[in-house]
Amino acid sequence: MPADAAPAFATPGALGPGRLIGAGGMLGLWLLLLLFIVYPLAMLLVRAFYDGGHLALGPLLSTIESPNNLRALRNSLLLALLVGVAGTVIGLVFAFTAERANLGRRAGRLIDFATLLPLISPPFTTSIAFVFSFGPRGLITYDLFGIGNIQVYGLTSTFAAETITYFPIAYLALRPMLASISSSFEEASFSLGGSRWHAFRTVTLPLIIPALANAFLLLFGCSLADFATPLILAGSDFPVLPTEAYLQITGMFDLRSGAILSLLLLVPAGLVYYVQDRFVAGRSYVTVTGKAATASRRDAVSPMARIVLVLACILMTTVILYFYALLFYASIVMAFGANSTLTLQHYRVIFTEGLPAIEDTLFIALIGMPLGGLYGIVVGYLVGRTRFTGRKAMEVISMLNYALPGTIVGIAYLLAFNDKPLALTGTATILIACYVFRYSPTGIRTTIALLQQIDRSMEEASASLGANTVTTFRRVMLPLILPAFFAGLGVVFIRSMTAISATIFLVSINWTLITVKILENMTEVALGPAAAFSVFVIVVVLVVTGLLNLALKRLTAPSLRVSRIGT
């Protein structure tokens, strides 16, 4: 890093080895960001805009002017907006209920489990449950309610399926925030004569605004980039951009207009990011002050509100559990809807023919997990807490691969790493890099959001005692942002097990993935193995995230336990 950054980046008196490590680390980090984010995208842009050495804007203009593409863009924005709002609201209801409604241990566990399921599922699982459940012969619409003239394809289904798939992300982002808000603030409001609603509105809500904005941004981005759900559920009359871009590239062999189409998505993604950034900036959300805070014993919600909240959660939880029961059922019958004979045949298939994919996926996920977790908190800390030249650039760059539709990231990697000197296609490295740089932004955002709640005086205290930046980070900040580290670990592992949109272009003869096998099985009319693979992924992820939670509990001393990850 340039020397002019030193006064801010390194704390006073830090001219020793700590600073050198800091500078070296910084250089390495920039190199990685350039190599795995900037370079592939640059290659993609070159492919999109250059034609035989000349800048060619014709394709760009004709893509933008096409009314069909504009319709797809409108549909995408509408869908992302709806999913962002609905998912954030549902996530907030769940987080608030879990943290404030004094649920019993068991009920709390059940909610945690139900919200976890969509998050850790391979793509297509919710969509497939929708295809089974709704529509002219759907289990719910026809067999339960006798409605025969209804369509499962279109905006409503896509919106509902994406909301169910993604709201747990909002829940995960919001719950630690609610947990970290000392109830003594709410208590203070009560003791000043405020009602519970008044306390929620004037104390709790403003405090979690950064987290709400964060959750909305994450969901908006997820929906904007999701091609799997619309691919199954959007039908012929609701085209969205990621699916169009995906089909353009995979089908028409037209990298250029596919790339341009998906680049259109960058505009809204960037806009939302900008708004969120401005919206959150300039407010103080400090609630972890290092001073002892006593827990309130008074209930934060009235009995009536509690019933409504709990009922809402129960309803949603039931829907989710039903979907997954359906998935499990599909994995143990010969052929769903045709032959209900129970069988373990599908599991036998995945553990014989599917075994290489299982081994490869686990290997990649386990390598990517620690790398992604570390990368997340390091970038989050640098961006959220230090000042240096290029800080803003680092923040934006680190978000790019996440904000871009996976299809584009995948194609960009394919273009960038196919030839020497960086011929990485066909290796595990390219898959791991893709996951780490694409899915760590959750860890980054969580770190930043958590840091916004931690008073700067804690670091100043450390610095005034002679500690340098690295020591301060390690001894003071690290324990406080450990939950963010574990959230980062969890998300990278889960995504490595479940994501498909980018990596479908990067799997190879040598390394393949379970998710790709699932998609393949679905196109082969082999729903049984697809369901069995999905169940397997869910079980593995449950076990690993369970272990992560256990480790987090062990590692955080009770006095420092700011929050838990919601898993």
Q: State which of residues 21, 348, 524, 539 lies at the interface with other proteins (CB under 8 A).
A: 524
DSSP summary character for residue 36: I
If one asks whether residue 137 binds other proteins (CB under 8 A), the answer comes out as: yes
132 binds other proteins per the rule CB under 8 A: yes
DSSP character for 353? Answer: T
Structure tokens at 420: 């020497």
Q: Does 369 bind other proteins (CB under 8 A)?
A: no
The residue behind tokens 């800091």 is 22
CB neighbour list of residue 147: distance below 8 Å, 6 or more residues apart:
141
Q: Compute how many other C-beta atoms are within 10 angstroms of the C-beta atom of residue 525.
A: 9
193 to 252, contacts with other proteins by CB under 8 A?
A: 231, 234-237, 239, 247-252
Of residues 523, 554, 558, 559, which one binds other proteins by CB under 8 A? 523
**Sequence-separated (6 or more) residues with CB below 8 Å from residue 373:** 440, 443, 485, 486, 488, 489, 492
237 or 460: whose CB is closer to other proteins? Answer: 237
Binding residue (CB under 8 A) for other proteins from 3, 419, 554, 557:
419
The enclosing H or E element of 2 equals: none
Q: How many helices (H) and strands (E) does the chain have?
A: 27, 4
Residues facing 335 on adjacent strands = 339
Looking at 57, 315, 423, 465, which residue binds other proteins (CB under 8 A)? 423
335 binds other proteins (CB under 8 A): yes
Contact 430, 413 (CB under 8 A): yes
Q: Does 425 bind other proteins (CB under 8 A)?
A: yes
Shortest CB 231 distance to other proteins, Å: 6
Interface with other proteins in residues 23-42 (CB under 8 A): 35
Q: Are the CB atoms for 130 and 161 separated by under 8 Å?
A: yes
Q: 287, 181 in Cβ contact below 8 A?
A: yes
> Which one among 43, 432, 477, 540 touches other proteins, defined by CB under 8 A?
432
527 binds other proteins (CB under 8 A): yes
**Span of 82-90, 267-275, 412-420, 447-455 interacting with other proteins by CB under 8 A:** 412-420
Distance (Å, whole) CA 272 – CA 555: 36
By CB under 8 A, tell whether 480 contacts other proteins: no
In contact, 565 and 549? CB cutoff 8 Å: yes
- The residue within the footprint of other proteins, chosen from 343, 389, 429, 471 (CB under 8 A), is 429
Determine which residue in the list 366, 428, 461, 478 makes contact with other proteins, applying CB under 8 A: 428
338 interacts with other proteins by CB under 8 A: yes
Cα(151)–Cα(108) distance, integer angstroms? 35
Nearest to 86 by CA among 172, 173, 160: 160
What is the rounded distance in angstroms from the CA atom of residue 350 to the CA atom of residue 205? 47
Q: Which stretch binds other proteins (CB under 8 A): 106-114, 149-157, 379-387, 478-486?
A: 149-157
Q: Are 258 and 407 in contact (CB under 8 A)?
A: yes
Closest separation between CB of residue 527 and other proteins, Å?
Answer: 6
Closest approach of other proteins to the CB of residue 15, in Å: 30
Scanning 51-59, 332-340, 387-395, 481-489 for contacts with other proteins by CB under 8 A, the matching segment is 332-340
- The amino acid sitting at 480 is L
Q: Does residue number 138 form part of the binding site for other proteins (CB under 8 A)? A: yes
Q: Based on CB atoms, which residue is closest to other proteins, 147 or 188?
A: 147
Residues that bind other proteins (CB under 8 A): 35, 68, 71, 131-132, 135-138, 151-153, 231, 234-237, 239, 247-253, 255, 334-339, 353, 359, 363, 367, 411, 414-415, 418-429, 432-433, 504-505, 507-510, 512, 520, 522-527
